[in-house]
Amino acid sequence: MSTDSTSAPNFIRNQISEELEQGRLNQLVTRFPPEPNGFLHIGHAKSICLNFGLAEQFGGRCHLRFDDTNPAKEEQVYIDAIRDDIEWLGFHWSGDVRYASDYFEQLYEWACHLIREGLAYVDDLDAEQMREYRGTLTEPGRPSPWRERSVAENLALFEAMRNGDFEEGEKVLRAKIDMASPNINLRDPTLYRIRHAAHHQSGERWKIYPAYDFTHGQSDAIEGITHSLCTLEFEDHRPLYNWFLENLPVPSQPRQIEFARLNLNYTVTSKRKLKLLVDNDIVDGWDDPRMPTISGMRRRGYTPASVRKFCDMVGVARAAGVVDIQMLYHAIRSDLEENAPRAMCVMKPLKVVLSNLEEAFEQRFEVAGHPAREDMGTRSLPLTREIWIDRDDFMEEPPKKFFRLAPGQEVRLRNAYVIRCDEVIHDDSGEVSELRCSVDLETLGRNPEGRKVKGVIHWVSVAHGVPVEVRNYDNLFTVEAPDRDRDGDFLDHLNPESLETVQAIGEPALAEIEPESRFQFERVGYFCADRYDSAPGRPVFNRTVSLKDGWAKAQKKA
RNA sequence: UGGGGUAUAGCCAAGUGGUAAGGCACCGGUUUCUGGUACCGGCAUUCCCAGGUUCGAAUCCUGGUACCCCAGCCA
């Protein structure tokens, strides 16, 4: 697919290119700053595409920086998964992976600087008391009784905090800004809290950890980030972000710009909720193919290009909306339509005996790997007297305009002959168990004379078909906005049919395929060999997305 | 009159004073050995509402309305 990511204009790109043109900016430097407390999801993909895409496009740099200021929630496994996800998407960060924890010493010094300037103090209030003193949205807060400690005392106390002389929660360092500010973030926000926890990067070195607000902007400044792009909920934090930049001797002045986070219908994009799905074994891990995580989408069969194209289609703006999941489906379908080789695979096998062929009949067809891509070569397809077709392609009492198989009706076997259904055989329970059909040997590569055969169905030789496990995935939720249930739980809307496993029968070429190979199973959908469970000789496919089904749609309307 | 934001089609989204891009979805049609794809055509006399300025307004002004975010020692 030749979609260059982030090609569409948006307000951030416009701003940057203007700054570049006017010479107010030399080189663009962005950053992607995940907290390693979960897996990346499709919402993060939007941010990754924005940050890395912008840097790529304007010849700038993009840093990967882990915002690792909360050891209690973070783990190395997440760091590894996040790096993999970004690389899989096809982006490259500038320089080494960075960590906010790399700057802990500098941050500590800057905290001392604030104390010396009379702009920070150690507070003994506990969390509950602090909340009371903070006031409410409509009422101003009151100053803490500890707000006017001397610089010397604050310095000593803060050092003692660092040394581990206090228990967790006993003291915090706060900025001294304005307890009456209408912006709650400015009511003396917490800068440091005590945590006697081991940190995945800094180990046991620290007993105190800086809060997000005191870390992010300064880290940006240290790295020379020019544009710090984040989501809308941080808008209220921008005055604080700037306050630190103004009151600290930082080496550069980054600028924070906010954009709307991505919401997708029929799914949830909240690390907390995703973690809940994982922890309660509702899904099979963070990379379950039903998860909107990047690794889940990878396992499901999405391509990096399709994810990038999707992000590009969605755009970047400041209006919070919900994107239709059909857009995602479109992105992957259009990629795979062009790039996935074709194969035939029968999902619900129904035996068909081609009665006018001899027992030992066998003919092989050299068939295109892709109808429009000669570079994909050909594959060999054997036809024998007994074949499997899909049960959905036969109806004993068909409605009008049913172009598939029915008693007395003709249909083309894809890549082979036209056949006519002569006889329907039922089992004891009355279920259709077998079809007897006759082959018109004059119809290979040409249409029969005097009649129009509109239907084409897929099939597999009984003698040569290979058993294939197919996992048909569907939306994890049955409602558009599972998040937004005011008096229920999002778990109430789980789709009980989000996974259906079937034992299918595929054409011979599917026997020896590598994990993560993608195919279009003709007339059915796009499938990807599971990266963990599939192996040559034992294929397991995940349905990435179905093909559009005009027949089903027409039936629904009728 | 707590603060900060956002309103353009069913959904996403361009557009920043010159007469409503594009994509998804949807609806027709053509082609087709995938009821897929591709192709052609349709889909906002109007931009949250009401006034005003102007030759001219989605864009400027005034006044409303709706929705989103904020009271972690999370990010």
Q: What is the pLDDT of residues A117-141, one digit of tens each?
A: 999 999 999 999 999 999 999 999 9
CB of A501 closer than 8 Å to CB of A527: no
Write down how long chain A is: 558
Interval A36-44 mean pLDDT: 98
Q: Is A462 exposed, middle or buried (0-12, 13-18, 19+ CB in 10 A)?
A: middle
What local confidence, expressed as pLDDT, does residue A175 receive?
Answer: 98
Q: How far is the CA of A80 from the C1' of B69 (A)?
A: 31
A542 and A496 in a common domain: yes
What local confidence, expressed as pLDDT, does residue A363 receive?
Answer: 98
Q: Which residue is nearest to nucleotide B34 (CA to C1')?
A: A523
pLDDT tens digits, A51-100: 999 999 999 999 999 999 999 999 999 999 999 999 999 999 999 999 99
Give the pTM: 0.96
A142 and A162 in a common domain: yes
Q: How many CA atoms lie within 13 A of A39 on its CB side?
A: 23
Do the domain assignments include residue A186? yes
A139 and A12 in a common domain: yes
User: Which nucleotides in chain B have some atom under 7 angstroms from a protein Cβ?
Assistant: 2-8, 10-16, 21-27, 33-38, 68-75
Q: Sorting pLDDT into bands at 50, 70 and 90, what band is A7?
A: low
Residue A366 labelled as part of a binding site: no
- The proportion of chain A whose per-residue pLDDT surpasses 90, expressed as a percent, equals 96
What local confidence, expressed as pLDDT, does residue A1 receive?
Answer: 35
| Distance of alpha carbon A348 from alpha carbon A343, whole angstroms | 16
What local confidence, expressed as pLDDT, does residue A33 receive?
Answer: 98
Whether residue A6 has pLDDT greater than 80: no
Q: Which residue is nearest to nucleotide B25 (CA to C1')?
A: A326
Q: Which domain holds residue A531?
A: 324-343+467-558
A215 and A164 in a common domain: yes
Look-up of token digits 């003698």: A463
Verify if strand B has an atom below 7 Å from the CB of A11: yes
Do the domain assignments include residue A268? no
A477 and A405 in a common domain: no
Query: What CATH number did the domain enclosing A379 receive?
Result: 2.40.240.10
**Number of CB atoms found within 10 A of residue A317's CB:** 12
Verify if strand B has an atom below 7 Å from the CB of A69: yes
The residues of A between 504 and 543 with beta carbon within 7 Å of nucleic strand B are: 520, 522-523
Q: Cite the active site residues of A.
A: 35, 261, 271
Q: Report the alpha-carbon angle A450-A455-A456, nearest 5.
A: 115
Q: Which residue is nearest to nucleotide B37 (CA to C1')?
A: A337
The residues of A between 121 and 160 with beta carbon within 7 Å of nucleic strand B are: 125-127, 130-131, 134, 136-138
Kind of pairing, strands A459-461 and A418-426? unpaired
A423 and A483 in a common domain: no
Q: Sorting pLDDT into bands at 50, 70 and 90, what band is A450?
A: confident
- CA A369 vs CA A334, A340, A373, A387, A506: distances in Å: 17, 9, 8, 21, 15
Residue A47 labelled as part of a binding site: yes
- Residue of A355, A340, A382, A546 whose CA lies nearest to A466: A382
A186 and A46 in a common domain: yes
pLDDT tens digits, A154-197: 999 999 999 999 999 999 999 999 999 999 999 999 999 999 99
- Residue of A434, A444, A410, A409 whose CA lies nearest to A353: A434
Q: What is the ipTM of this complex?
A: 0.97
Count of domains for chain A? 3
**Number of CB atoms found within 10 A of residue A195's CB:** 17
What local confidence, expressed as pLDDT, does residue A4 receive?
Answer: 41
The residues of A between 279 and 308 with beta carbon within 7 Å of nucleic strand B are: none
Paired tokens of A104: 């802990």
Nucleotide of closest approach to A131 (CA, C1')? B71
**What separation, in Å, do the N-terminal and C-terminal C-alpha atoms of chain A show?**
37
